[in-house]
Structure 1
């Protein structure tokens, strides 16, 4: 991957531009949060206007979507707030539409093109298709990152192949502390949904986003309020500890020392 290190940005500060996908109607705006100059894959914050729609068809690459507000439909399936979809390359989806102004994270693996069709493309892996998965219906489970501190749980949205990528939601309790710096052997990205998190890079609040290349050390972290974020990382998401000098402001018990 050849995405630049983004640590971190507030998505509202990113300039909007027209969302253009070959084969799909115009009428949406996007904020490009990160972009791969080699594959032309991206993570974007797209805003569709009411009554936008498209015919059935398939994409030329894997696409992930996570709805943040509003409502989208794929056929009769409803994608409301915090609903996830994974559309594998070549899998034909039913006609999709937007019933009200809708914002979602849009994550194609390369520059996306849409082909109108009523059938899958040859070789499409329909068994991997996740058309609509409401995170409210997914149970919380323990984190599976080795060495991750207590006080956090996850909702798995999709597990990729062993050694590949996965997507999940991370929830941390108020006063959760990650006392060590860490790094990962593959890229990691997060979009803050609720709460906040303080690190040496700054204070992450809803709408903040980062994309880290492999082996980028990120410092200890603390949340006073709790933290809820959309995450894409590894399967498994291996984590290794590094040393960074702690900030006293992370730890309430150090404030008066």
Structure 2
């Protein structure tokens, strides 16, 4: 830290120095700041002073609170259009945003009463259950749980979905045509597990997107719940009258 002005409170000088590091690119969008103890050592200050500087930067929307006591540089919201049906991977790629997924879990499960109803299947039909984290420009954006009928996508290469669009895989690898989807969006609070996976405070508000996707044959191909970090995700639409 250079040129500390004694006339200014130390917390203010620290706050301005962190801002300068963000503007210079030393700290990038989504980066997690060093720990409190590391910042105390760097600035030769107390935890109380560091916390005040961090809290003011959070209030100014420069930083955001992460999981536990961590703080990260505020991410630029990821744009998403509601004007057409598309997968997150293909939409972000078209917008020039790097998108990839981390597969948390995948297994074949039996459809219970709820899933059988949602997917228009029989109870105990085989389903792929896939849990994954979605990233935009290396920043965690979304936790997703997906169910797909095994009968429509036999021998699905789940690992491939870490880098490739699910919808593209369905259409290109299986010759199926995705036609439409029914979707609901509502606000909810992150539970502890999702907050930890997305590196959030467990009191963070999220957008829960529930989607049921259909083929041109009216067969249901996907039932999913997606939890988006609300302030990293921006929805837009065009309304005609």
**Which is helix-richer, 1 or 2?**
2
**Which is strand-richer, 1 or 2?**
1
What is the TM-score when the length of structure 2 is the normalising length? 0.27
What is the TM-score when the length of structure 1 is the normalising length? 0.26
